[in-house]
């Protein structure tokens, strides 16, 4: 954390701070790592070659979550330091409403445009979908509303309650000492999928 503060404090206010494009975190063994950007968006997960001996298949799931949380905590601290030292803090690279719809926002054209009515109707449908899915999501916040989100390779999954990840699981029958790279990709994809509209609304 001291390195982050040093980077931020040495840069002149208003000037870009180099070295914050990729922020990493590790598990307690140092063999599992995660990388996020300054907004906290997950970029990649990695497992060192010694992960099988150091962590093992039964505890690598929690180790991955520990590394991701560590990286996100460092990114949050970096944003706070930027603000304290008078630097511009980047906004998340996504529209928060996109958590409840797959429809991207479309700016309204001029009122006299031929497309105005069509775009207006589309944006109204998008707003309705956001409200509907947000209502479903609020109901999923009730205690006990759990679901499992798996990576596309079937190696890694997380149990989600509401919007919180409460457990990570690895299929120990499908992984071996040489599965580190594939497991890391599956974990990254599963953790990214947790934020998708279908998962948040319980439809996945």
Instruction: Mean pLDDT check: name the lowest of 3-7, 76-80, 105-109.
Output: 3-7
pLDDT in tens, 54-80: 999 999 999 999 999 999 999 888 888
* Average pLDDT rounded to a whole number, residues 111-122: 88
The pTM of the full predicted model, rounded to 2 decimals, is 0.71
Model pLDDT for residues 182-195, shown as the tens digit of each residue: 999 999 999 988 87
Contact 43, 36 (CB under 8 A): yes
Give the CATH architecture of domain 2-92+143-200. 2-Layer Sandwich (3.30)
Domain positions in the chain are: 2-92+143-200, 96-139
In sequence order, the β-bridge partners of residue 167 are 159
Helix (H, G, I), strand (E, B) or coil at 163: coil
């Amino acid at each position: 954390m001291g390195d982050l503060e040093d980077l931020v404090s040495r840069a002149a206010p208003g000037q870009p701070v180099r070295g914050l494009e990729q922020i990493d975190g590790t598990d307690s063994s140092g063999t599992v790592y995660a990388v996020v950007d300054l907004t906290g968006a997950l970029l990649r997960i990695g497992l060192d070659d010694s992960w099988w001996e150091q962590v093992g298949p039964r505890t690598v799931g929690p180790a991955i979550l520990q590394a991701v949380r560590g990286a996100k905590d460092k990114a949050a601290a970096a944003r706070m330091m930027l603000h304290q030292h008078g630097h511009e803090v980047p906004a998340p690279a996504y529209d928060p409403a996109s958590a409840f719809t797959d429809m991207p926002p479309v700016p309204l054209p001029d009122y006299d445009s031929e497309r105005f009515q069509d775009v207006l109707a589309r944006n109204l449908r998008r707003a309705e979908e956001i409200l509907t899915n947000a209502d479903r999501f609020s109901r999923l916040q009730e205690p006990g509303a759990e679901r499992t989100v798996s990576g596309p390779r079937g190696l890694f999954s997380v149990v989600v309650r509401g919007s919180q990840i409460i457990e990570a699981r690895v299929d120990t029958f499908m992984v071996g000492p040489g599965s580190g790279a594939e497991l890391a990709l599956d974990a990254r994809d599963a953790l990214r999928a947790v934020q998708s509209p279908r998962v948040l609304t319980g439809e996945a």
